[in-house]
Amino acid sequence: MSTRHPLAAAFSALFAALFLLLAGLPGLAEEGVFEPLSITTQSGKHDFQVEVMRTDEEQQRGMMFRRSLADDKGMLFPFKDVQVATFWMENTYVSLDMIFIRADGTVQRIEKRAEPLSTRTISSGAPVLAVLEVVAGSADRLGVKPGDKVSYPLFKTQ
């Protein structure tokens, strides 16, 4: 027969509750549902799985507090209307490439290697319908340039 210290059960319950709490915090667990998106460049078609930030709250949080992003993952910020978009990297620990996308799915502009934790404003420079954030270096590695095409149901291709 084994005996268990009376505090052992309490500590086990405390650690289990702490784990569940931390698992729900942004950046400490896999977030959201991923959807397919692809970018066609001169070097071919490149597939990603993206988490789509649809609500204002999701868009405000974005990649904040996350510590990593896989090469084949990304975060898409779709807007209700075409607009000049501005972003910053406050509380964002992962360096990102920001790909600004027009309504027809054409890449408008790319902000490469956005500096983590920076409050510098990053602008699309022209009206866009969405922004795709991928890990820094992806645009160079895949050869993504303005004028390339992004395929995702939001974009109306002609």
Domain extents for the chain? 33-151
Res 8: pLDDT: 42
Over residues 65-89, mean pLDDT = 96
Q: How do residues 106-136 score in pLDDT, each as one tens digit?
A: 999 999 999 999 999 999 999 999 999 999 9
β pairing state of 44-52 and 73-87: parallel
Over residues 21-38, mean pLDDT = 62
Q: Please check the confidence at residue 4 and state whether its pLDDT lies above 80.
A: no
* SS3 (DSSP) at 110: strand
Superfamily of structural domain 33-151: Protein of unknown function DUF192 (2.60.120.1140)
Residue with the bigger pLDDT between 137 and 3: it is: 137
Q: Chain-wide mean pLDDT for the chain?
A: 85
Give the CA angle between residues 33, 129, 37 to the nearest 5°: 40
Compute the chain's Rg from CA coordinates.
19
Res 9: pLDDT: 45
The number of CA neighbours under 13 Å toward the Cβ of 129 is: 13
Q: Cβ(34)–Cβ(47) under 8 Å?
A: no
Angstrom distance (rounded) from CA 92 to CA 95 = 8
